[in-house]
Structures are given as structure tokens and as C-alpha cells.
Amino acid sequence: MLLPRYLVLAFTVTAAAVRAQQGDAACQVENMAKIGTVGAGLEWHPTDPNLIAIARPDAKGKHQIHIIRPDGSDVRCLTCAQTPGGPKVNLHKGVPHWHPEGRYIFLQVEQEDHKAGAMAQPGSGRNNDIWVTTPAGDRWWQLTNKDNGGQGGTLFPVPSHRGDRLAWAERYAGPRRPLKALAGMMVKNPPSDVWGIWRLALADIVYGSDGSVKLANKRTMSPGKADFYEMQVWSPDDGALYFAASIDRKSPYVLDLWRYDLQSTKLTALSNTDNHWEEHIAFSRSGRKAVYMSSECCEWNSGDLRTLKAELYLMNGDGSGRQKITSFNQPGGRDFDSSAKSVVAKGVWSPDGRRVALARILINESNVEKRPTDLWLMTFAGSCGR
């Protein structure tokens, strides 16, 4: 029997509403648990729900790459001992990103000779090169080696979902007027190039028959003509790059999230706010949901990093339906910590879309971390990201 058109329409709308309600219910935060500490970077294995790659400082303060389980146990350091062909132990390593099949880990490594000081930590990227290793940490290949007169650097080397290309942000020059940049920071009015001048880079990944890895056909781009870029993720179809940048901003601390279509070169703002820091977007494996960091939650002075506070937000893959899902800075909130300001940094999804591991930085007024960055595990009521 054929139903009248209005009944079919009503049934369709009702079914869609039920699916939306079910989706919303699946994305309710069921549990938050602190599972350890983390340094510059974390990434969940793309297919194995029991493996997370993280950076964590050693006893001397050097970031090293570790593999852990989602409950924080079974910690295995890949870089705490010298490996033939690998980087020296006394150099920072961080910002790990898995090959889509889990065959390799791409990461940043501090260069041996430089004058960048603390700016050579992986989270800042100055005087860092890109390396790649195996999950066992027993084989290593250096993929970039560019000093640019001491002004070079890399941030966030991210392989495509097919594993055939690598994208990252590349520092190729220092501030145009270094003394002005320093003075601007002191008076809480830093110029847009205070972190130097960056661009996006893209290259083909070439795999040898012996398992070796190298890059070829590198090209660079500066969509929107910003001074600072930070690579984030590839679109689910590998046709676009998502990045954070200070496009058309006077302050380098006001970052927006952008999508850049590689074929059409179309640039689309995913967030476009005048006074917020938005960064670290991460899509679930299906691409249906994404989490990202934002200061929209809180009041702060965009010229003074010591005042920054940020939470983790959830949205649909198309940028709609944004909602705050942590409450570290909210008095009376589930996760509130009154001991210092909280900045939720990167969050990463489990393969099944039910959990997110996230880094939470605690800072005081002198912008010094009060303790090592916390690593938290968020569990949803259902498979939110599936």
C-alpha cells in the first residue's frame, strides 16, 4: 500500500530527528579520567584501539616518543636509548603522527646545532627536522634537513589517509624586525611575525623495497598570505588540508581554522573569530565529527599568552553543531581545576569514535607550567564519531 506523500514526509523527518537525537546521546561525555602526563604531541593508532603514540619529557626535560595504552599503562619509550641511524638521545622528539596503516611514525626532531633555545621544543618547531621511524623504533630515516641560516623549522608532519603524501608547516625566515618583535611581546602587542615566517609544505612519500622512506616533489604554499601556519589534518578524502593560521590578524595569538582545497585552491574559514585562539582540529575516523581547541569559552587578552584559557569543543564534520565538551575553567563544572588556568590542547580520536585522548596544560600568571601537561581520556556514551 502506498502511503500519502505527507505521511512519507512526516515519517522521514521524524526518522531524521530520531537519528539526530541518537547521535546527540552518543556524544554525551560519560567519563573523564586522567591517565598520565604528555609532552608535545599525541596520536591514536589509526586501527589499533590499544595504542597511542605520545611525546613525554625525560628526566632531563627532553621530549621522547613513547607508546602507551589508553589507560596510561604499558609505557614503552622508542627514543630513550640510542638506535643506529636514529637521532641522538639528547635531542627533542615530538608531534608523532602514524602512517594510516600503522607501519611508520612521522615526527619532528630537534637539529643538533642551533641557537633557538626553548623554541626548538617540538611544540614550537624552530630548528626541527622531519624524521620517520618504525613502531618499534628500530629503523630511522631523516626526511628534511634545512637550516635556513638558523631560521628554519617544521611543525606537524601529517601523512595523507592513503599514505602517499606528507604535509607540514615550514618556517623559512625569522621575524622581519627581530627587536620590534621582542619589544612587542614585552608590551603585549606582538607583531604577526613574532614566531617567524611560515608556510605550508607538501611532498610525495616514496617507499623503497627495503622499507626505506624518503620525500620527493616538494612544493610550498601560503594560502591567505599569513605569517604563521600550523598544519592540522587532511580532509577525509585527502583533497584538502586543514590548518591553523593568523590570516588577516594583527595578533599571532588569534588563530582560526581553515580548509584549503588542493585542486581548486579554494580557501574556506572553518572558524573566523576576532579574539579567539582556535587550533588542533582532529576528525574522527569516519569524518563525521571533529574536536578542536578554542578560547571561546573564556575571557583573555589576545596580546598576552599568560591570560590564555581554552577548552575542547565538538562539532560535526561540516563545521556545524559546535559545543564545548570540557569544563576545566568553569567554576562548578565537572572538570574544574582552581589551581591554575587550563588550556586544553590537542585531542585525538580512538578508531571506534567512542573516546578522545586530550592534553590539558596548566599555567600560572608567569606562563610557566605548574606541573607536566596532563593526559586525559574522555569516554562518550556511545560511538560519537562513528
pLDDT (tens digit, 9 = 90+) per residue, 248-289?
887 888 899 999 999 999 999 998 777 899 999 999 999 999
- Is residue 335 domain-resident? yes
Query: What's residue 14's pLDDT?
Result: 45
Q: Report yes or no on 386 lying in a domain.
A: no
Non-local (6+) Cβ contacts of 187 within 8 A are none
Q: pLDDT value at position 310?
A: 95
pLDDT computed for residue 370 by the predictor: 52
Query: In this structure, what CATH number is given to the domain that contains residue 61?
Result: 2.120.10.30
Q: Sorting pLDDT into bands at 50, 70 and 90, what band is 180?
A: confident
- The answer on pLDDT for 207 being more than 90 is yes
**33, 89, 293, 298, 323 from 232: Cα distances, Å:** 25, 27, 12, 23, 20
Q: Which of 94, 91, 88, 95 is nearest to 116 (CA)?
A: 91
How far is residue 341 from each of residues 15, 21, 374, measured CA to CA in Å? 43, 34, 13
Q: How confident is the model at residue 175 (pLDDT cuts 50, 70, 90)?
A: confident
Q: What is the pLDDT of residue 366?
A: 56
In total, how many domains does the chain have? 1
Confirm whether 112 is domain-assigned.
Answer: yes
pLDDT for 16 equals: 42
* Contact between residue 137 and residue 79 where contact means Cβ atoms under 8 Å apart: yes
Mean pLDDT for the chain overall: 89
- pLDDT confidence tier of residue 368, bands split at 50, 70 and 90: low
pLDDT at 221 over 80: yes
Phi first, then psi: give them for residue 11, nearest 5 degrees: -65, -40
Q: 186 near 194, Cβ under 8 Å? A: no
* 5 falls within a domain: no
| pLDDT, tens only, 14-72 | 444 444 444 589 999 999 999 999 999 999 999 999 999 999 999 999 999 999 999 99
Q: Which range (139-153, 316-330, 347-361) has the least confidence?
A: 139-153
Whether residue 89 has pLDDT greater than 70: yes
Indicate if the pLDDT at residue 157 is higher than 50: yes
Alpha-carbon distances, residue 191 vs 198, 263, 303, 338 (angstroms):
14, 32, 10, 32
The cell numbers describing 7, all together, are: 505521511
Residue 98 has pLDDT above 70, yes or no: yes
Least confident of 246-255, 308-317, 362-371: 362-371
Quick one: pLDDT at residue 371?
64
pLDDT at 2 over 70: no
How would DSSP label each residue in 228-279? Answer: -EEEEEE-TTSSEEEEEE-TT-SSTT--EEEEEETTT--EEES---SS--EE
User: What is the CA 335 to chain-centroid distance, rounded?
Assistant: 22
Minimal CA–CA distance to 282: which of 342, 234, 341, 321? Answer: 234
* Mean pLDDT, residues 142-164 taken together: 91
pTM metric for this prediction: 0.90
SS3 (DSSP) at 378: strand
Q: Residue 8 domain-assigned?
A: no
Question: What is the Cα–Cα distance from 49 to 346, expressed in whole angstroms?
Answer: 18
Listed range (210-214, 309-313, 341-345) with the worst mean pLDDT: 341-345
Helix (H, G, I), strand (E, B) or coil at 208: coil
3-state helix, strand, coil in the chain (%, to 5): 10, 40, 50
pLDDT at 113: 85
The answer to whether position 75 is within a domain reads: yes
Report yes or no on 283 lying in a domain: yes
What per-residue confidence (pLDDT) applies to 8? Answer: 42
User: How far is C-alpha 244 from the geometric centre of its chain's CA atoms?
Assistant: 10
| Domain coverage including residue 247 | 29-380
184 part of a folded domain: yes
